[in-house]
Amino acid sequence: MTLHDHRVLLDAAGEPVVTLRRKLMSAHDRWQIFRGESTEPKDLIFSVKRSSFFQLKTKLDVFLANNTKEEVCDFKVKGSWFERSCVVYAGESLNIVAQMHKKHTVQSIVFGKDNFMVTVYPNIDYAFIVALILILDEIHKDMKNQ
């Protein structure tokens, strides 16, 4: 028996874009991302897992749904929630497809409200990047609560 936790990413009209489902009994913080509100295997878009159990900086391996062997990741995320930043790479390469960092503004300093600058490179899906950032946020919330 496996336990799951999930989040649904909505668009501006309130329609579900993707469902992020986390396997709670997984050693590597495994997440599965599905189309819309589905959690059916046929609607799986990609899965994410931490590269290793013990990490100083978070490293995530991303596997597209058709990469069932998971021998080589399709994307890699390297992030530091302490620094509030991350970089998304294409596979095992150094080709950057997206970046996120904390934007220091008067509002963020005075009111403690974090603002982020996200750069998404051409031909990369915005919802894909937002889903990865949400997963990073959830992982770091869990680490903070432990």
Where does the pLDDT of residue 141 fall: very low under 50, low under 70, confident under 90, or very high at 90 and above? Answer: confident
Q: What single-letter DSSP state applies at residue 127?
A: H
| CATH code for the domain of 134 | 2.40.160.200
Residue scoring higher pLDDT (106 or 96) = 96
Q: What is the pTM of this model?
A: 0.84
Number of domains in the chain: 1
Write out pLDDT tens, residues 27-85: 667 999 999 999 999 999 999 998 866 666 789 999 999 999 999 999 999 988 777 88
Residue 21: φ, ψ to 5°: -115, 125
Q: Which domain holds residue 111?
A: 4-145
Q: How many CB atoms lie within 10 A of CB 46?
A: 20
Residue scoring higher pLDDT (99 or 54) = 99
Which amino acid is located at 140 in the chain?
Answer: H
Q: What proportion of the chain, given as a percentage, has pLDDT over 90?
A: 58
The residues facing 45 across adjacent strands are none
The DSSP secondary structure of 64-86, one letter per residue, reads ETT--S-SS-SEEEEEETTTTEE
